[in-house]
Amino acid sequence: MQVWPGQTYPLGATYDGAGTNFAVFSEAAERVELCLLHDDGSETAIELRESDAFVRHAFLPGVMPGQRYGFRVHGPYDPVQGHRCNSAKLLLDPYAKAMSGRVDWDEAVYGYRFGKPETRNDLDSAPHTMASVVINPFFDWANDRPPRVDYHRTVLYEAHVKGLTMTHPGLPPEIRGTYAALAHPAVIEHLVELGVTALELMPVHQFVTDHRLVDAGLSNYWGYNTIGFFAPHNAYASMGDRGQQVLEFKTAVRALHTAGIEVILDVVYNHTAEGNHLGPTLSFRGLDNASYYRLEQDQRYYTDTTGTGNSLLMRSPHALQMIMDSLRYWVTDMHVDGFRFDLAATLARQFHEVDRLSSFFDLVQQDPVVSQVKLIAEPWDVGEGGYQVGNFPPLWAEWNGKYRDTVRDLWRGEQARLAEFGSRLTGSSDLYQDDGRRPLASINFVTCHDGFTLRDLVSYNDKHNEANGEDNRDGESFNRSWNCGTEGPTDDPAVLELRGRQMRNIIATLMLSQGVPMLSHGDEFGRTQVGNNNAYCQDSELTWVPWPEPGEDGPDAEATRILEFTRTMVWLRRDHPVFRRRRFFHGRPVEGTGDELSDISWFTPEGEAMTQRDWQAAQARSVVVFLNGHAISEPGARGERITDDSFLLMFNAAPQELDFVVPVDHGKEWQVVVDTARPDGVPPGTGREVGAGDRLRLADRSLTVLRRPA
């Protein structure tokens, strides 16, 4: 076989039509072998003799897409000094664009199954591990263009590739649970009709199910256990895993873009699947342990701010380069539109403390590719000082955990939450305004993959995670939930009616709030996980979205009503810019609008202006909000002044029905457009007409929206 010197960049395996260039970094290695794997189980080892700046490289003419390969690294195995080279381990390429097979947790190979660390005498891991794959980078993108939906028009939809599509009756069985299913018209039609503008996919980077879950008959369903930051997860491909997963993912992105839907990836750059010092050597650990991982003073052990066993070393230029190369690859080659960063506070840990000016954020800020896409932080980790909501740099948006908690507390009846609710409803200026950010920095959500579903949030006081095999010890114990009087399933019509009302309250609140709303997949149908709030290991009907049969009658009638109400609220938001302002409210009339009314006003249920005493009253759970559609200060896309209808939002989170008075000086004629006390949440026809000074009786724990045409 011919072996040419090759190039140091790009790292990984790069096919150019005539052969493949291989390049891999390892400062610790004394010698690196590239192993070409054959279908009969044999391998051809080629020493990478060329080395520049610790990058070993070679070009192999004739090596085509579909070729499986790995690396063997010869070097020091000295955990006390942070080195774990072991030539018995066939290592995955950190830059592999695709990976084939799965990890076989064979006890003869992985001694740590019994709580013992690996040694240099371990058996060859090749038959038991995954392989890297050379891919064909060429793809017909046709006229694909990024939708580039502005944040103020964005509606996020968090979904799991398999969970969203596994039971869809309109999909051919052979593509359910795969990237191909995301490209199917039946799925895209649902997203378009729902009003979604961005599909936020739970991890699709190649991940591994660890041995503990395999032994228990479970799986790492969520996927937060990455081993390949460039490779689409092979189990989500319907056509094969020797590069077909790349083509299938690109096809899905192209189809979603055609429908105007952006694709945002939930990415896990804070740790890898290799775990702690007892974990397996799959890739990074065997290549250059000390360059990729944050180690304790005793370098046998790993610093863990993620709760998974290890953390990537964010002051290492090689770890940072890999992350930035990965991000650029997914934007330029895979055409994704943004990223949601799991446990993003760990990315800020340049040393020990969370540092908002760490190297990672500097690199993102100056990068001409990555800085131009949507960047969303999960602004916490499990380390000391890890809760950083509101503290990320101006380029970033954040999952607003304070919004989630406040909305949950209001509707479950907690006292003294009204003042903070006002802040969360209007974009959380207390978190984002001081550093120049706007309401759009707040990603508003009440439920997500982690925790109760929307239905479970109103059906359970306590978690019920027994199926996870940890005696219900796992998962969050303080969920800010309320079961409406009965724990779990019930036939009591009063409880069921209240739960439906509470779900409508939460959906409506989410869509009426300033910021960027995010729905969790299946909540639009009211799906349940039977009280499991940590279903990370459940790959079954427990976590798959149950697609209902449409119709007003029958067993799925309630799911259909929830879906229709969710659609109504999403489109109400999309149709009215007063709910998605790009700037914070001023709390006063806006100059140049010709309107003497404030852009926002707050009233008691009696129609009187709210006072400081009203806001601070512990028992206060009800408020009226006036949103002035004539006082939107920001210009439109062509510089024109934006005007809209005006709205009154009447929130009654009290446990009893209350009379609300329509304020007398903010419009004479109003129309009721939303009433969550109704089973469908929407008044029939054009809605009831009401006038200034009229009284409306709102049911306990309900929300009513009035509209005044512009």
- Convert the pLDDT of each residue in 370-426 to its tens digit: 999 999 999 988 888 888 999 999 999 999 999 999 999 999 999 989 999 999 999
Nearest residue to 700 (alpha-carbon basis) of 650, 648, 662: 650
Lookup: tokens for 262: 């952006």
Output the pLDDT for position 113: 43
Q: Is 434 labeled as catalytic in the residue annotation?
A: no
3-class DSSP state for residue 377?
A: strand
Q: Which of 262, 378, 456, 558 is catalytic?
A: 378
Residues 6+ away with beta carbon under 8 Å from 223: 160, 202, 203, 204, 205, 207, 233, 268
Query: Picking from 223-237, 354-368, 535-549, 691-705, which range would have the lowest pLDDT averaged per residue?
Result: 354-368
Inter-axis angle of helices 244-258 and 185-194, nearest 10: 40
Residue 55 reports pLDDT greater than 70: yes
In the predicted structure, residue 292 carries a pLDDT above the cut 80: yes
Q: Of residues 497 and 386, which shows the higher confidence score?
A: 497
Q: pLDDT digit string (tens) for 105-141?
A: 865 445 444 445 566 556 677 888 999 999 999 999 9
pLDDT of residue 593 exceeding 90, the answer is: no
| 22 strand-pairing partners | 13, 58
Phi-psi region at 276: left, alpha or beta (left = phi > 0; alpha = psi -120 to 50):
beta
C-alpha to C-alpha distance for 261 and 276, rounded to whole angstroms: 39
- Contact between 649 and 616 under an 8 Å Cβ cutoff? The reply is no
Q: Which of helix, strand or coil describes residue 401? A: helix
Cis peptide before 10 (omega within 30 of 0): yes
Is the model more confident about 156 or about 126? 156
pLDDT over 70 at 312, yes or no: yes
* Average pLDDT of the residues of the chain: 94
Across-strand partners of 627? 600, 647
State pTM to two decimals.
0.96
Mean pLDDT of 193-200: 98
Question: Averaged over 182-199, what is the pLDDT?
Answer: 98
Looking at per-residue pLDDT, the higher value among 196 and 553 belongs to: 196
| Phi, psi values for residue 476, rounded to 5° | -70, 135
* Average pLDDT over every residue of 281-291: 97
The rounded percent of the chain whose pLDDT value lies above 70 is 95
402: how many CB neighbours lie within 10 A of its CB? 18
492 catalytic? Reply is no
Which residues make beta-bridge pairs with 7?
none
The CA distance from 596 to 598, in Å, is 7
* 479/441 Cα distance (integer angstroms): 24
pLDDT at position 339:
98
pLDDT in tens, 31-40: 999 999 999 9
Query: Which neighbouring-strand residues pair with 450?
Result: none
Look up residue 232 and give its two tokens: 């689409």
pLDDT per residue as tens digits for the range 555-579: 789 999 999 999 999 999 999 999 9
- Write the DSSP symbol of residue 520: E
The count of other CB atoms within 10 Å of the CB of residue 115 is 7
Residue 31 CB burial class (10 angstroms; 0-12, 13-18, ≥19): middle
Sequence-ordered list of residues with C-beta below 8 angstroms from that of 674, at least 6 positions apart, any chain: 508, 568, 569, 572, 681, 682, 683, 703, 704, 705
> Coil, strand, or helix at residue 199?
strand
Q: Which helix (H) or strand (E) holds 565?
A: helix 557-575
Helix, strand, or coil here: 126? helix
Higher model confidence: residue 14 or residue 352?
14
Please report the pLDDT score of residue 551 as a whole number. 66
- Rounded average pLDDT over 503-522: 98
Euclidean distance between CA atoms 13 and 105, whole angstroms: 27
Q: Are 51 and 86 in contact (CB under 8 A)?
A: no
Per-residue confidence (pLDDT) for residue 509, from 0 to 100: 98
**Cα 263 off chain centre by:** 11
Give Cα separations from 6 to 16, 59, 326, 664, 681 (angstroms): 12, 4, 21, 78, 65
Residues contacting residue 448 through CB under 8 Å, at least 6 positions apart: 158, 399, 518, 520
The pair of three-digit structure tokens given for residue 216, joined into one six-digit string? 């228990």
- In sequence order, what E strands does 309-444 have? 338-341, 374-377, 397-399, 442-444
Among the listed residues 266, 342, 381, 420, the single catalytic one is 342
pLDDT of residue 108: 40
Give residue 684's pLDDT: 77
Task: Answer for the pair 314, 320: CB distance below 8 angstroms, yes or no.
Answer: yes
Closest CA to 3 of 62, 54, 69: 62
pLDDT digits (tens, 9 = 90+) for 240-266: 999 999 999 999 999 999 999 999 999
pLDDT number for residue 111: 45
pLDDT of residue 345: 86
pLDDT at 688: 82
Query: Which is more confidently placed, 321 or 110?
Result: 321
